[in-house]
Structure 1
Amino acid sequence: MKVDPTRSADLEVIYTDDPEVVREAATEDYTQHVVPRSWRMSPLPLASAWWALASAMFWLILGALVALTVGTVDAIIGMVLSVIAYGAVNYVLSAYAARTGTTVNLFSRGLFGYAGGVLAPLLVAVISIYFATFEGSVIAVAFHAYFGGVDLKIWYLIVVAYSVPLVFGGVRVFLDKFNGLLFPFYVIGLVVAVVWTVQAHGTGGDWLTWRPDEIQVSGPGWFWAFTVYMGDWVLMMFTWDYARFGRTSRRDIRVNGWLTFGPGFYMFTILVNGLIGIFIALTIPSKGQLTELSGVLGMVQLMGLTAVILVWISQTRINTANFYVATTNLENVAARVFKLKLSRVTWAIIVGAIVYVVMLSDVFSFLLAALRYQSVLTVTWTACVLVWIAWGWFRGPSAEHTEWRPGRVTLFNWGGLSAWAAGTAVGMVMLSVGDDSSWTATWALPLSFVVSALVELLVLALSGPERTVMQRPRDPRKEVDDPWEARIRCHRCGKFYLAVEMDRDPSHGHQAICAGDAQASPTFYRHARSEARGSTGR
């Protein structure tokens, strides 16, 4: 092994997993660390965990709502375009996340800076908590409608109480097995729902060509439908936190890109679910405006206990993803901002408490409006990331060598933040100046995406990705022969982590320090910045 002669402290290096780290990973899932290749998952179990997101009742009702607004044909065109867009973007993101092994939190540091990068995991945590609240309430309402007995608030508590422990085991240890077990029952439930609807109300042969008497949206109906599905681009960020567990062989990248996270997944999630939702909505007579809850209640009235079981399966599966993503990202935000390190179990309980409090409060109308605006943030984040990845393909650095370590990136990457902010400002203004039927509402998300992408491209062309890197000596990545296989002992926690995430701690004699402890240290970053200024003379 070649050794850097400038290093100030010897490195303790091993080439096998630290048993204590492996034990901890069973619940912590390397939330604040790079996922080693020894902990990666094959496509089938990874898909079992990720496809929990395909089973939300939300996808059925969204398809129905879009069709009721612009007609079935335009809704289907919009869904097909969304499958293509989601599939292509997530193919790219899933491959890059697997090659870096990073979370949204870790990766965003390189793109937006050490402090600026905290905005991304904070955004994901907030949105995930909202979805956990909303999807959990669907289960509670279904239970309350069928079983009754106790107040709805008690059903809320029951749903949260059983949902929280489901994320204690992490993706590899539990979620893949649990969701894989339930998925066939969800598919069977969908088939039963369609057959039951046909037997009770007939086939409704004109549902495929149904069109409202008046369409109150700006622009082509199919384009409006496409932009409605852009509102859920937070799934791009969800993809990243799951895809980091994927293997990096060419075969695994392709299988995960096409099926696990890409077009195959969205063909089922958006198109199949959407078509079933449209059929049920246009075939079963309903009173009042169609919402997610009214659709669930209608199914319970038609199918009884069978519908309750289907709702429980679908919503429990997706809430494992919501609670998992909320927990990991809230954990990262707290470690970065408050230097607080708590266990995964503790954070899952905290998320559960937050979800329950939100369920009890009368803020759903506010949250629904806020959700409309958060979609701008996720769309513009995706635009910046795609340009960053494309730049790396053509100009470097590669995914495996991108810089994101706490002590190696600037406090704020004003170029990346400016790109994110520019598109976000455009989208927010456009959403605020018109109503849902205005052209600004239709074009807000596409234009905000374009603006952020163009600004990010301009910034990279002017200064390159190195603008966010702090140049410091004594880099553990360069002191080992293979930073993706060598594990180095951290002087703070005493555990061995991949060299690719390790750094030298200038506040403690330049001993090796892992990414998690570097992030949690109150002095590390200050000393790292001072050392960088000394090395560059600035």
Structure 2
Amino acid sequence: MPTLPTQKTQVDEDFNASAVPLTARLGRWQVTMSFWSLLSAMVWLFYGALAASLFGTMNAIIAIAASAVVFSLVNIVMARLSLRHGVNSTLLTRNIFGRWGSLLTAVLLAATVLYYAVFESSTLALAFAEYFGAGDIRIWYAVVVVAMLPLMLGSVQSWMAKLNGYLLPFYFIGLVATLVAASVKFGGDSAWLSFEGVVPAEGRTLPGWVLGFILYMGIYITMPTTADFARFGRREDERFHEVVTFGWVFYLLLFVVNGVAGIYLVQTVLPNEPASEHGVVQAVLMSLGLFGLLFIVISQTRVNSVNYYVASTNLERILHSLSSVRLPRVVWVGAVAVLVFLLMLTDVFSYLQTALNWQGVLVIGWVGVVLTHFGLTDRFRMTFVVASNR
């Protein structure tokens, strides 16, 4: 593994205002395991269950497969651009939107990922409240935020890969165990495959699989996030990262495995209830009990490491663009924790999906502009003048 530059300022700011130099690039495993912390989010199980609940199981599976293909293709471009030039999503768009326009990229990414951190933290707090059956939910909110905080201080260069690499096998073991337990306890027949969805065919403006695909477009936030991680990859590992870390291998696990698992779990355990965030937690706990709670803890620890990382680094970029103030990483992570806790107190599940839908529209627009711009640039040849524009 290469040794990072010794300049303390560069390490402290995580190369937020400059390209990652070739000497600071990281090995395959470190980049992959850091980014793959996204794999274990409960939201991916929820999206699969939601798509099936609305438009039917088979339509949802088609939509999930189509989404995996599209996301894989688009992120080849995102990963390639960021890896070759070592730039994050904000610097990537500076040549498109200008210095102040690119600031909107950081704002959009910070806000969206912050909401996902709230979602995942609230899911864990809900799991504790559901399992122990007592106590004010606000106390569990505080417990989750405080307990998670020390684990969220890692960066891509330090120990984020180790944390998520060690926990990844336990996540998949827990997922398989949950599905097996659900099948044994609640009957593993094929009825879940024939569910038609609560939205009748005559009430759909488009085919069900298309509507499911549109639903998944709201998760385009993974595309600018790809740029924030791909910048640490070595150029000789470009093909590997395009296929495995950010490509079809990743989205096969992220969307297909998690999505189908979420569909099966909710349709098997709670067949008569609409898909909801609470429903996913209930289904896991009803299937595995205490081990289900541990499974949720592991999944939320993994995914919140990347949520806190992306949110804190983008908040730092915002302040860096507006002033010369420099704050240590622990301050930014602490700020994210405070914001997450305050948002959790607002009954976040009542409006979270609406907020993410609006932010999803903005992210889709961002992706469209970036792809169009670089598609019109001769073979993606672009000069990033980032150091002089700090």
Note if contact 1:108-1:118 (Cα within 8 Å) is conserved in structure 2.
Answer: no
Match of 1:191 in 2: 176
Q: State the 4+ residue runs in structure 1 displaced beyond 6 angstroms.
A: none
Q: Deviations over 1:368-389 (max 9, x none)?
A: 3222111111111111111222
1:120-519 aligned at under 5 Å gives the runs 120-148=105-133, 150-212=135-197, 214-215=200-201, 216-249=203-236, 252-286=237-271, 288-362=273-347, 364-394=349-379, 398-399=381-382, 401-403=383-385, 405=386, 501=387, 503=388, 518=390
Note if contact 2:178-2:287 (Cα within 8 Å) is conserved in structure 1.
Answer: no
Q: Deviations over 1:134-178 (max 9, x none)?
A: 110101111122234542212111211232332322112111110
Corresponding residue to 2:32 among 25, 37, 47: 47
Q: Deviations over 1:435-468 (max 9, x none)?
A: xxxxxxxxxxxxxxxxxxxxxxxxxxxxxxxxxx
Note if contact 1:135-1:315 (Cα within 8 Å) is conserved in structure 2.
Answer: yes
Note if contact 1:105-1:117 (Cα within 8 Å) is conserved in structure 2.
Answer: yes
Q: CA deviation at 1:294?
A: 2.0
Q: What is the rounded CA distance, in whole Å, between the counterparts of 1:36 and 1:306 in structure 2?
A: 43
SS of the counterpart of 2:93?
helix
User: Partner letter of residue 221 of structure 2?
Assistant: V
Q: Deviations over 1:182-216 (max 9, x none)?
A: 00000000110111011112222232233247233
Q: CA deviation at 1:289?
A: 2.8
Q: CA deviation at 1:18?
A: 4.7
Note if contact 1:286-1:298 (Cα within 8 Å) is conserved in structure 2.
Answer: no
Q: TM-score, normalised by structure 1?
A: 0.69
Q: Cα gap change, 1:293/1:285 in structure 2, threshold over 3 Å: closer, same or farther?
A: closer
Note if contact 2:265-2:283 (Cα within 8 Å) is conserved in structure 1.
Answer: no
Structure 1 unaligned residues grouped into runs of 5+: 1-15, 406-500, 504-514, 519-538
Q: Cα gap change, 1:61/1:108 in structure 2, threshold over 3 Å: closer, same or farther?
A: same
Q: What is the rounded CA distance, in whole Å, between the counterparts of 1:55 and 1:208 in structure 2?
A: 24
SS of the counterpart of 2:233?
coil
Q: CA deviation at 1:290?
A: 2.1
Q: What is the rounded CA distance, in whole Å, between the counterparts of 2:197 and 2:306 in structure 1?
A: 35
Q: CA deviation at 1:218?
A: 1.4
Q: Cα gap change, 1:166/1:30 in structure 2, threshold over 3 Å: closer, same or farther?
A: farther
Q: What is the rounded CA distance, in whole Å, between the counterparts of 2:273 and 2:188 in structure 1?
A: 22
Identity level (%)? 36
Match of 2:90 in 1: 105
Give the CA RMSD over aligned residues. Answer: 1.9
Q: Cα gap change, 1:258/1:106 in structure 2, threshold over 3 Å: closer, same or farther?
A: same
Q: Deviations over 1:85-133 (max 9, x none)?
A: 0000011101110111111122222110111111110011111111111
> Which structure has more RCO (C-alpha within 8 Å, separation ≥ 6)?
2
Q: CA deviation at 1:282?
A: 1.8
Q: Cα gap change, 1:363/1:49 in structure 2, threshold over 3 Å: closer, same or farther?
A: closer
User: Partner letter of residue 341 of structure 2?
Assistant: Y
Q: CA deviation at 1:28?
A: 3.5
User: Partner letter of residue 61 of structure 1?
Assistant: F
Q: Cα gap change, 1:288/1:279 in structure 2, threshold over 3 Å: closer, same or farther?
A: closer
Structure having the higher helix fraction is 2
SS of the counterpart of 2:7?
helix
Match of 2:74 in 1: 89
Aligned residues: 386
Q: Which has the larger radius of gyration?
A: 1
Q: CA deviation at 1:308?
A: 0.3
Note if contact 2:152-2:304 (Cα within 8 Å) is conserved in structure 1.
Answer: no
Q: CA deviation at 1:60?
A: 1.2
